[in-house]
Amino acid sequence: MDRGRKCDLRELPHQSLRSTFFALILLCNLCILLDPHFGWAAFSNYNSILIGDRAAGMGGAFTALTNDPGGCSFYNPAALALMHGRSLSAAINVYHKYEIDYGVDQDFSSAPFRVNRGAFKSIPAASGSIASLGHFAFGISILVPDYEYFAGEIFADGTNTSYLNLIDESLWVGGTLALNLTAEDSVGLTMYYTSRNLVRTLNDLSFGPSAGDMYVEEKTFHNNSILYILGYHRRIAPRWTMGVSYRFPSLEVSGSGSYYSAQIKTDPYTKAVLSETGIDSETRIPARAAIGIAYEIPKAWTLSMDLSHYAPENYTDIDLIQAGENIVHNEVWNGALGFEYHLYDWLRMRLGIYTNFSSTPKIDHNKEERQGDHVDMWGFSANLAIFTSDAVSVTLGGYYTGGRGESTQHLNQAIRVLPKSFQTFAFLVGSSYYF
């Protein structure tokens, strides 16, 4: 019931070990030359949403693996060439429950007991379709790699109250082409057209015995860009596979934003309003390179490990002096470890653990300006794949991501630093069809 194609050594012309390793070295050198920052492998935390069904269950440690129609194009497009026939993964929905707290340190030890409380958001995390033709494979995928939502009070002390509403979401749509070079080697390329939408509204109210101040701010922008991911996959031994992938920095297509702010004081009465629309905006997704290795005993168990490096980036989000924020991404490493075990022919268990470190710099308390949130996180995942027939599988499970850090917010008529804790419980329901 394994949907991956284990290439017959007689199907393709034999290539020497030297030539295939030369191809790998050439690919790595190409990545170095094309990225001025040199990153091995986008937003502040890159692993807040795990893509795919098999890949999500294994913590995203998927650069050296295949058999995930919704995830292969994202982790390593070369892995598509190892799948045969046609396949479709649909309705891979993640129901996210967010626990975001400002100003207090959350008790993480009791987090599992709060999983059934609060509101949930439905996110179509990934879907994909794959078709193979000879040595070629073609894929189409749609995914949501970044999403953050918050609505509520972030500070209150009796005289000052601040409310924040935030939606920051991305959608990627792309196609993949993969090719088997030899019985052991394959390459692939994915092109994504990306869309990012941000809406942030802040209300900061301060009241004293005889006077009051009110500050209101709304910032929005929408950006489109193009991303390319280049991948290479190799079977280095009967049970060992390895893969590398490189995501090039995004190429901006368009960007537009708006900004509104109003500050009103009652004693003496003053009012200052700024309203701008049609502002040029920009979002840059940093380069990423990943290397993975996996050991697999067919129809028994699989162990995989990934290491990813994200390149630095620096830009201003909107072209307005009064509102533009300098977005800084430092280079950052993340790792993932995944495990899959065949309990029965029709049932597989998957487990994963991964890091989700922040790429933004640690907040400088001496700067009275807005800075990117810095919250280092980690996570774990688990799901079950149920094969109801030779052609249909259903995946049930989820993952958790959480951590503590700091955030800068407009409080009491000034920019201040607040503790921030971030936890996400995600419930995954997916299905795949093979034909």
d(CA 8, CA 26) in angstroms, rounded, equals 26
Whether residue 309 has pLDDT greater than 70: yes
d(CA 29, CA 39) in angstroms, rounded, equals 12
d(CA 26, CA 19) in angstroms, rounded, equals 10
Cβ count within 10 A of residue 384: 14
Residue 94 or 111, more confident: 94
Q: Which residue, 198, 248, 199, 252, is CA-closest to 224?
A: 252
Q: Is the peptide bond before 268 cis (omega within 30 degrees of 0)?
A: yes
Residue 391 or 315, more confident: 315
Tokens 């009796």 belong to residue = 158
Residues 6+ apart with CB under 8 A from 353: 59, 336, 337, 378, 379, 380, 381
Q: Which residue, 399, 429, 356, 396, is CA-closest to 115?
A: 399
Predicted pLDDT at 111: 58
Confidence of residue 96 (pLDDT cuts 50, 70, 90): confident
Predicted structure pTM score: 0.85
d(CA 56, CA 167) in angstroms, rounded, equals 23
- Provide the residue ranges of all domains of the chain, joining segments of one domain with +: 17-434
d(CA 87, CA 54) in angstroms, rounded, equals 14
d(CA 435, CA 424) in angstroms, rounded, equals 35
Which segments within 157-297 are labelled E, that is strand?
Answer: 160-180, 185-207, 212-237, 240-247, 251-266, 269-280, 288-297
pLDDT in tens, 343-367: 999 999 999 999 999 999 999 998 8
Amino acid present at 250: S
Confidence of residue 185 (pLDDT cuts 50, 70, 90): very high
CA distance readout (Å), 100 to 69, 291, 435: 32, 32, 43
Q: Give me the chain's average pLDDT, please.
A: 85
Predicted pLDDT at 28: 41
Predicted pLDDT at 91: 57
d(CA 284, CA 62) in angstroms, rounded, equals 24
Phi, psi of 19 (to 5 degrees): -70, -35
CA distance readout (Å), 361 to 36, 366, 375, 406: 20, 14, 10, 11
| CA torsion through residues 70, 59, 286, 97, sign | positive
pLDDT in tens, 215-242: 999 999 999 999 999 999 999 999 999 9
Confidence of residue 411 (pLDDT cuts 50, 70, 90): confident
Q: Which residue, 359, 327, 404, is CA-closest to 100?
A: 404
Cβ count within 10 A of residue 109: 7
Cβ atoms of 215 and 410 within 8 Å: the answer is yes
Residues 6+ apart with CB under 8 A from 127: 70, 89, 90, 91, 92, 141, 142, 143
Domain 17-434 has CATH 3.10.450.50: no
Predicted pLDDT at 8: 41
Greatest alpha-carbon pair distance for the chain in Å reads 87
Mean pLDDT to the nearest integer, 201-208: 89
Q: Which residue, 418, 410, 406, is CA-closest to 374?
A: 406
d(CA 249, CA 194) in angstroms, rounded, equals 12
